[in-house]
Amino acid sequence: MSICISDALNEPYFICKVSLNQNPETLARTFSSVATQLLEKVKSDKRLTEAYRMEVEFDNYEKVVEFRVSLKTTAWYDVFLQPMDRLEAIKIAKKYTENVMQQFLPEPTPNKKNNNKELEDFNAFDVCYTLKKTGNCNCNSKKWTHPKFLCKDSVETKDARKKICAFYIPDKLLIESLSNKVCDPDGYLFALRRDLFRMFLLVPTKHMENEDLVKLTDFWKFLLIKQQQLSFYLVAFNFGTWESELRNDPNVLECHAHANLYFNEDSWNNAKTVANIPRMDICNTPGPNYLRKNCEELKVYRLNEAYCEYLNGENTKKDDIISKLCEDPMEEYFEKCLQEWSEENSGEHADSNN
């Protein structure tokens, strides 16, 4: 089939839609192909690979799936908007940030006080040091826990040493009723997240990175079956620094692959019945809002600077700056900058008219 991927000119996304009206075998191959081509699209410019996120959103009513790669907004600005006319670039970036800010309200400040004993016990969870370091331990200590799943595959560190991956799933978060056997070398494990989000983690037992995972046809076959069973509406994979910031060891070059599965309230209630994990009753929030955070970075690290550069306008006549910005004021901050700039340069501007 022909795969059409949108360009990220007006929003920081590469998007591709896939019809669900295909047999499972063909659909899994299509998903693998789309994911592979989206990765290649990102790699077309090295700056885009710094941090990005691939999301796969299911619309079972319309029988369509949308693959969407969300780019780091500062990289998007540098690659796609920076070469444009500066005012046009500012307009596009500002319109995008406004849309996101209006759509997603700020997240409430979390309450650090928590009287839930189960959470207090969980926060004290710690893995045996010897097990994490070597992959083997016979200490039988009750002080340290020994999770059923801990990746023992070798990974490389920044200083070219070898160590075990040591990615693990706490036993109380492992959803065994949905998972393959922990010892299955080609299996997949379901787990709750440590925080109280309506989300599952889907983790391959074999060590690999997210880039390898999304290219596997067998992975998509497994995921499509589970999507029918659990009705999660979104699957997300992080790449680059958005993936590496969650590493157990910051010196390791690789991250153990994992997908984030998002649920709405109805599908979460269904998943509770299937998984039968009491902890799910206190997982009531939908998950972190990365889009808003990404927009805030764009405003701080690119838009504010672009405003100032445009106002200074080394290659633009100051009369043109004033007339253009007055015709199309960008926002309160921009108008304030314009007013301050006009006041500071009013004498110079008056002289130029004489």
| pLDDT, tens digit (0-9, with 9 covering 90-100), for 144-164 | 777 889 898 888 877 778 888
The 10s digit of each residue's pLDDT in 209-242 is 999 999 999 999 999 999 999 999 999 999 988 8
Interatomic CA distance for residues 244 and 249, integer angstroms? 9
Determine phi and psi for 136, rounding to 5 degrees.
Answer: -140, 145
DSSP state, residue 54:
E
Inter-residue long-range contacts of 33-38, CB under 8 Å, 24+ positions, other chains counted:
33/3, 34/3, 34/67, 35/67, 35/214, 35/215, 36/214, 36/215, 37/3, 37/5, 38/5, 38/14, 38/67, 38/69
| Residue ranges of the chain whose pLDDT lies below 70 | 1-2, 105-125, 129, 141-143, 244-252, 313-354
Q: For the chain, how far is it from start to end, CA to CA, in angstroms?
A: 67
pTM over 0.85: no
Which stretches of the chain are DSSP H helices? 24-42, 73-76, 86-103, 117-123, 129-134, 210-213, 217-230, 241-244, 265-275, 290-298, 304-312, 318-327, 332-344, 346-353
